Structure 1
Amino acid sequence: MATIHIDYLGGLRTDCVHLQSGTHINTDAPTDNQGLGEAFSPTDLVANALGTCIITTMAIFARRENIDLNGSQLDVTKVMTSQPPRRIARIDIDLVLRASHSGTPFIPEQATRTRLETIAHTCPVAISLHPDIEQKVSLRWEEDVIA
């Protein structure tokens, strides 16, 4: 059974439907490749998939440890090759982790931080991407007020 249905809308745009939830995502070709850049490009979604997979798999582990990662943030930068063939050369992830336990902010002990950082580099998307795509993940822990 299909997971996603995609309609090509013309003008280098698509409408994608996640069949289980009915959620829609539109795509547009980037401005440097004949598009208008008015929505995620397909390669933006690959970079987004890496970032969301990293934080989601970290949060699954953290939940089992009674740690809430709410308030953590990621900035994702996708770098395309400058020479043909056009492809993703590198994805940079800048991850600021904020943890709390029962609403109290804290920085987990070193063993837990190490485990979470390992998960960031071995999430399903990270290990599914072609090894020619460089993945640069920087993590820092901040003790901050969690809203």
Structure 2
Amino acid sequence: MAVEIRGTYAGNLKTRLVHGPSGAEIFTAAPVDNQGDGSSFSPTDLVAGALGACMMTILGIMAERNGISMEGVEMRVVKHMTSDPRRIAELEVVLYMPPNLAPDDRLKLERGALTCPVHRSLLAEIGKPVRFVYDGEEL
């Protein structure tokens, strides 16, 4: 299925994007370290957010299919940039998982999260370490 996203340059290194099917809007701004004011997500921030959101969406699908509660599930993605050429070097993903999961359920959910289409679409050169945190365990 194809999805159209339309965009408008809004000036001052900012853009407005419109999701064709829903009409939802998001805005981007260049980051401070690349001549912008950092007032919104940068395009590469959206890539990082898309990765985390995609993995949580797949977790949700797997959880619903297996009768697992997703209450309290959160994620964090830390984006690392490099230069020459300027690009994303690494996206560190941490997924804070539901408590009290059986080992079989953990395995199902972890395997499912790694099938995320965004994760599979990113270049191999981009580091994509994923950590699953259970039962209040901290980094």
TM-score norm. by structure 2 comes to 0.91
Other-structure match for 2:13: 12
Query: Moved runs in structure 1, 4+ residues, more than 3 A?
Result: none
- CA–CA distance in structure 2, aligned partners of residues 131 and 89 of structure 1: 10
Partners of 2:28 and 2:41 within 8 A in 1: yes
Shift of 1:20: 1.2
Shift of 1:95: 1.3
Q: What amino acid is aligned across from residue 42 of structure 1 in structure 2?
A: P
Q: What amino acid is aligned across from residue 138 of structure 1 in structure 2?
A: R
Shift of 1:121: 2.0
Number of aligned residue pairs: 135
Other-structure match for 1:118: 111
SS of 1:45 mapped into structure 2 = helix
- Superposed CA RMSD: 1.4
Q: What amino acid is aligned across from residue 51 of structure 1 in structure 2?
A: G
Other-structure match for 2:50: 49
Partners of 2:6 and 2:17 within 8 A in 1: yes
Q: What amino acid is aligned across from residue 85 of structure 1 in structure 2?
A: P
5+ long unaligned stretches in structure 2? none
Other-structure match for 1:37: 38
Shift of 1:43: 0.2
Shift of 1:2: 5.2
- CA–CA distance in structure 2, aligned partners of residues 61 and 131 of structure 1: 25
- CA–CA distance in structure 1, aligned partners of residues 72 and 20 of structure 2: 29
- CA–CA distance in structure 2, aligned partners of residues 70 and 130 of structure 1: 32
Percent identity, please.
Answer: 43
Other-structure match for 2:71: 70
Other-structure match for 1:140: 133
Partners of 2:97 and 2:134 within 8 A in 1: yes
- CA–CA distance in structure 2, aligned partners of residues 90 and 119 of structure 1: 21
Other-structure match for 2:85: 85
TM-score norm. by structure 1 comes to 0.87
Other-structure match for 1:23: 24
